[in-house]
């Protein structure tokens, strides 16, 4: 059923859960696994005076470590995994990369939010479901 699976990973507990569930599906379906490590750059929050090459290198090293951790985890489970690192907004990158790969499934982690957080963030903006043209699995932690 699924031939190409895009696993979205950010190093969080929810991301690790998505990675595990996505790997299980990829193994069962004998599908290609593509890991998309998404990092919000710490440069986004830095004031212009505070931006310097050392800050960028530290951010880049952390992001590269997240990607390598995820690819290594998938390969240890027998998957031929490929990885890509992007910085910025997941809502922009996930649909684009899924389309470029021709993915038929995207796996993302789910972080529960309280009522107040949902109330503040509900808007008329598009969601990942609106922007992605394939199936999406929102991996929910058993403790959620």
Q: 1-89: which CATH topology?
A: Rossmann fold (3.40.50)
* Mean pLDDT, contiguous 10-residue spans, the chain (144 residues): 90 84 91 86 48 48 80 87 87 94 93 56 69 92 65
Residue 64, burial from CB neighbour count under 10 angstroms (0-12, 13-18, 19+)? middle
Global pTM value: 0.77
What pLDDT, on a 0 to 100 scale, did the predictor assign at position 19? Answer: 86
What pLDDT, on a 0 to 100 scale, did the predictor assign at position 125? Answer: 67
Angle of helix 53-76 versus helix 13-29 axis, rounded to 10: 40
What pLDDT, on a 0 to 100 scale, did the predictor assign at position 63? Answer: 73
């Amino acid at each position: 059923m699924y031939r190409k699976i895009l696993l979205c990973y950010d190093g969080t507990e929810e991301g690790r859960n998505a990675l595990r569930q996505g790997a299980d599906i990829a193994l069962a379906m004998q599908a290609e696994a593509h890991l998309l490590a998404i990092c919000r750059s710490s440069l986004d929050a830095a004031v212009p005076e505070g931006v310097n090459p050392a800050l960028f290198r530290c951010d880049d090293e952390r992001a590269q470590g997240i990607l390598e951790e995820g690819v290594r985890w998938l390969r240890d489970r027998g998957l031929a995994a490929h990885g890509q690192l992007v910085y910025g907004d997941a809502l922009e990158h996930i649909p684009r990369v899924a389309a470029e790969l021709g993915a038929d499934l995207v796996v993302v982690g789910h972080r529960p939010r309280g009522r107040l957080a949902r109330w503040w963030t509900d808007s008329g903006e598009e969601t990942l479901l609106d922007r992605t043209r394939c199936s999406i699995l929102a991996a929910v932690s058993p403790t959620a």
